[in-house]
């Protein structure tokens, strides 16, 4: 199990303060999206699930202590064991269950950069957090550079890398027949997003990733965000416009020679704070994060 530790105490990204969390009361719930697909929620990143005659296919696996609850929720849907897991990126709230599942014989897939980061010590400057390398059983055993497809359960599941968005190893997962899109942490629904600059994330790349998805999907698509409730294309478009607008404002202030403190004081996200600013990234921290991300 990957272990994170805080160098200083602060309100951490979900998943990056594992030792401080109590999972005993977490309930893993499944929401049916189509005949074969589900969204599972618990603590950490939202999960995608495909079940059918061929295999049980899981997108992300939250934290290690939740593996038994996740497997119990899946067992309530199908008696088949999990066969495949795709990690949308390396953060522990999406890949923390890898070691448990890997030891159980599940095949784990991810972008090359996910394995690379999980296989070495990482440091997330924004939260002043370090992570130790993951054990062998937690590492993706099959990696890819751009995209791949799974032909299972009567569907084509397309896994596509979106470069330099939330991190440098993000994948989005599209269940073609079911018309369900899992965004990983390229989409925080109703929350200001965390963009992990230390892991190669980029605000403009995040907008580009969302633009790519918006072209692919339609008004009937069910969109699973990395965090937040199930969404629609309209919800994703509103998120995209918010991130793009605040990013443009911060970039303009940087071009005017403003310091980080001056950018925060200018409140570039003010028009969005009521709707988006009540999550774990508060408005001032969002402006500070974008400044650090966009400054040349």
**What is the phi/psi pair of residue 235, to 5°?**
-65, -45
Q: How far apart are CA 54 and CA 150, in angstroms?
A: 11
pLDDT of residue 9: 28
pLDDT of residue 21: 76
Q: How far apart are CA 41 and CA 288, in angstroms?
A: 29
CA atoms in the 13 A half-sphere facing the CB of 195: 26
Strands 129-131 and 122-124: antiparallel
Token couple for 8? 């200083």
pLDDT of residue 2: 44
pLDDT of residue 20: 55
- Among 21, 157, 37, which residue's Cα sits nearest to residue 96? 21
Q: How far apart are CA 131 and CA 20, in angstroms?
A: 15
pLDDT of residue 17: 43
pLDDT of residue 241: 98
pLDDT of residue 41: 98
The CB density around residue 242, as the number of other CB atoms within 10 Å, is 18
Q: How far apart are CA 56 and CA 42, in angstroms?
A: 19
Strands 29-32 and 142-144: unpaired
Coil, strand, or helix at residue 72?
Answer: helix
pLDDT of residue 8: 28
213-250 confidence digits (pLDDT tens)? 999 999 999 999 999 999 999 999 999 999 999 999 99
Stated as kind and residue range, the H or E segment containing 251 is helix 233-255
Per-residue pLDDT of the chain (296 residues; tens, 9 = 90+): 444 433 222 334 444 444 457 899 999 999 999 999 999 999 999 999 999 999 999 999 999 999 999 999 999 999 999 999 999 999 999 999 999 999 999 999 999 999 999 999 999 999 999 999 999 999 999 999 999 999 999 999 999 999 999 999 999 999 999 999 999 999 999 999 999 999 999 999 999 999 999 999 999 999 999 999 999 999 999 999 999 999 999 999 999 999 999 999 999 999 999 999 999 999 999 999 999 999 99
- What's the predicted TM-score (pTM) here? 0.93
Q: How far apart are CA 168 and CA 155, in angstroms?
A: 28
pLDDT of residue 103: 98
Calculate the CA 74 to chain-centre distance: 20
Stated as kind and residue range, the H or E segment containing 234 is helix 233-255
Q: Are 180 and 37 in contact (CB under 8 A)?
A: yes
Q: Specify the CATH architecture of the domain 4-244.
A: 4-Layer Sandwich (3.60)
Token couple for 188? 């925080």
């Amino acid at each position: 199990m990957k272990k994170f530790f805080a160098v200083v105490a602060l309100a951490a990204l979900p998943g990056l303060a594992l030792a401080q969390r109590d999972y005993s009361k977490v309930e893993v719930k499944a929401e049916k999206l189509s005949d074969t697909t589900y969204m599972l929620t618990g603590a950490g990143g939202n999960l995608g699930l495909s079940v059918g005659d061929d295999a049980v296919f899981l997108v992300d696996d939250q934290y290690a202590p939740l593996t038994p609850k996740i497997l119990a929720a899946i067992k309530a849907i199908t008696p088949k064991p999990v066969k495949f897991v795709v990690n949308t990126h390396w953060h522990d709230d999406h890949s923390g269950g890898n070691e448990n599942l890997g030891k159980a014989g599940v095949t784990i897939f991810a972008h090359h950069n996910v394995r690379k980061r999980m296989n070495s010590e990482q440091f997330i400057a924004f939260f002043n957090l370090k992570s130790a390398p993951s054990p062998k059983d937690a590492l993706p055993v099959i990696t890819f550079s751009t995209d791949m497809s799974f032909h299972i359960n009567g569907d084509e599941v397309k896994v596509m890398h979106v470069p330099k968005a939330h991190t440098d190893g993000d994948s989005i997962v599209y269940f073609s027949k079911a018309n369900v899109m899992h965004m990983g942490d390229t989409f925080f629904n109703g929350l200001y997003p965390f963009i992990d600059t230390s892991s190669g994330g980029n605000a403009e790349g995040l907008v580009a990733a969302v633009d790519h998805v918006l072209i692919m999907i339609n008004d009937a698509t069910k969109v699973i965000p990395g965090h937040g409730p199930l969404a629609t294309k309209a919800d994703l478009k509103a998120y995209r416009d918010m991130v793009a607008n605040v990013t443009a404002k911060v970039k303009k202030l940087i071009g005017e020679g403003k310091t980080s403190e001056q950018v925060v004081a200018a409140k570039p996200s003010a028009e969005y704070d009521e709707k988006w600013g009540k999550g774990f990234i508060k408005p001032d921290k969002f402006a500070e994060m974008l400044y650090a991300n966009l400054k040349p």
